[in-house]
Structure 1
Amino acid sequence: MFSLPLLLSAFLPQVLGCADHANHHAPLHNKRQTFNASAALRIPTYWQYDESQDWGKINPNYSLCQTGTQQSPIALLFNQGLSQAHRPHFNGYTANSTGQFYNWGYGPSFTFYHDEGVYDTLPSMEMDNETLYMTGWHVHAPADHTVGGDRSKAELHYVHYDATGRERAVVAIRLDPGQDDSRFFAQFPSPMIHFNDTSSIENMAIDPMQAIREVANFSNFWTYQGSLTSPPCKEGLRWFVARNILFTSVRQMQDLLGASTFSARAEQEVWLHQVNV
């Protein structure tokens, strides 16, 4: 049985920041579990996505949200072309990767199990001769990025760290309703865990490669130098945004949106982002 401090230490980092999906603790049992700490685990109310233009005023540690030169998200355009460099390779995305499915307070989320400070056991990708490790994924609704002025219903973020535990890259896939079920989202329980329920956990194994397959194996993409899309807006991350959209069924999209609340940061002006460079 887990103590409340241990549970808090496992989940507070995940719900307090967009890309902080490190979970260093062993699994609970292989079924959904609920603990009496939901009030302590709620997203803090002192910053909100619909007030993102004021994040820099709230806390001096959030100053990059106002002064940064590579803030995310940005508007992407079809006439920018697509990247011919920094191609990611997902050979280390293995099926039956185990972790915890939960709601990060804004939408569905997943964290892979790994020992504290150990990242090389996680699903991995290669980028510019560097191996990066995916700690987990989460969904923003609506999408953070617009493409050609259009904003998708939601956006899936695969968050990657280097071997030292530094955030290095985000693989982003836009989500919209189509005709058939997405095999990626079919892996997860329905209905999904609601945004008001930050205390439920589903322990399970998933195939992270399935989402990549559903966007033509990420063969076409935009890339740029950017930041976290929530405070403290840390810069130095490489973003990859798939050209193709991952389509879900209408039922799956309704499930995703029903489990989510508004989490799209205002678009940032392109500055030193080096789009597709």
Structure 2
Amino acid sequence: MFTIPLLLLSVVPQVFGCADHQNFMRPGHNEKRQLNISNTGRTPTYWAYEASFNWGKLSPDYHLCQDGTQQSPIALGLNQGLSLYHQPDFSGYPSEVLGNYYNWGYGPAFTFYREPGNYTSLPYMTVDGERMYMTGWHIHSPADHTVGGDRSKAEIHYVHYTADGHERAVVAIRLDPGREDSPFFAQFPPAIHFNDTSAIQNLDMDPMQAIREVSNFSEFWTYKGSLTSPPCKEGLQWFLARNILFTSRLQMQDILGASTFSARAEQEVWGHEVNV
């Protein structure tokens, strides 16, 4: 992996932190499905994925990136088995949800509309009786997680919050090129480029479609982990589908052409409680 020495970080251009899905405002009636220029609400940062091993040195607020006990991502493998518990129930995902399609500075992303401060109107999954509300999704390229030493071309993250607005869980699905179009990605127009971080398009989408394309998430790993960008906050439950979501060659080229490197270095397994 290409890395940037710590002394050179001061000259790294401004980049954006992991998609925080704060561009949640409803568009005007006449703006729906149009491409607009908007402030997406992302905060500039001065760290880089290529130098993720040094994040803990950049700020005291990033100390968990260095000394955390449940940092993500981790390497997974079939020799660890699959989860026998904590099966997500996605019946709270409606078939049509309005939101904003954009680029989070590293790849395609989508944020659902909600009233400010209101998370309970969002699509939700239920795990062990707890509802977790999905604010949107974004793509990392290449994939954050490896399985059996193999790293997919990309990985989509469905980000979930608690009802009171705290990060709670990530549903992750690896993406690779196959022979046919993915119905999930067929819902969207050509991806907005990573340099066009002020462009935003208002669309309806079906979040359940990606779940269908990985055998309804019937096989998965789960572990206790963290955000994969500073401040590397811990306390999130990760769910990674065993099945890969396959796109067509052209769809994958569209995703990769709109993306730039956004995979954090893998972390050593410590207090992650894999499949527990």
Query: What is the TM-score when the length of structure 2 is the normalising length?
Result: 0.91
Give 1:116 shift.
1.0
Rounded Cα–Cα distance in structure 2 between residues aligned with 1:19 and 1:126: 23
Q: What are structure 2's unaligned runs of at least 5 residues?
A: 1-14
AA matched with 1:218: F
Rounded Cα–Cα distance in structure 2 between residues aligned with 1:77 and 1:121: 36
The Cα offsets for residues 103-129 of structure 1, whole Å up to 9 and x where unpaired, read as: 000000000000111111101100111
Q: 2:57 corresponds to which residue?
A: 57
**Structure 1 counterpart SS, 2:91:** strand
Q: 2:167 corresponds to which residue?
A: 167
Give 1:41 shift.
5.9
Give the RMSD, CA atoms, in angstroms: 1.5
Alpha carbons of structure 1 residues 64 and 41: separation in structure 2 relative to 1, 3 Å? closer
Q: 1:9 corresponds to which residue?
A: none
AA matched with 1:197: D
> Where in structure 2 are the equivalents of 1:46-85 lying within 5 Å?
46-85=46-85
Residue 131 of structure 2 is aligned to residue 128 of structure 1: no
Aligned partners of 1:34 and 1:199 also within 8 Å: yes
Rounded Cα–Cα distance in structure 1 between residues aligned with 2:200 and 2:24: 15
Rounded Cα–Cα distance in structure 2 between residues aligned with 1:43 and 1:193: 19
Rounded Cα–Cα distance in structure 2 between residues aligned with 1:63 and 1:156: 26
> Where in structure 2 are the equivalents of 1:218-233 lying within 5 Å?
218-233=217-232
**Structure 1 counterpart SS, 2:99:** strand
Q: 1:34 corresponds to which residue?
A: 37
Give 1:47 shift.
0.3
AA matched with 1:243: R
Give 1:19 shift.
5.0
The Cα offsets for residues 168-225 of structure 1, whole Å up to 9 and x where unpaired, read as: 00000000000000000000102x1000000111101000000000000000000000
Instruction: Count the aligned residue pairs.
Output: 259
Q: 2:158 corresponds to which residue?
A: 158
The Cα offsets for residues 206-251 of structure 1, whole Å up to 9 and x where unpaired, read as: 0000000000000000000000000000000000000000000000
Aligned partners of 1:222 and 1:242 also within 8 Å: yes
Alpha carbons of structure 1 residues 275 and 261: separation in structure 2 relative to 1, 3 Å? same
Identity %: 68
AA matched with 1:165: G
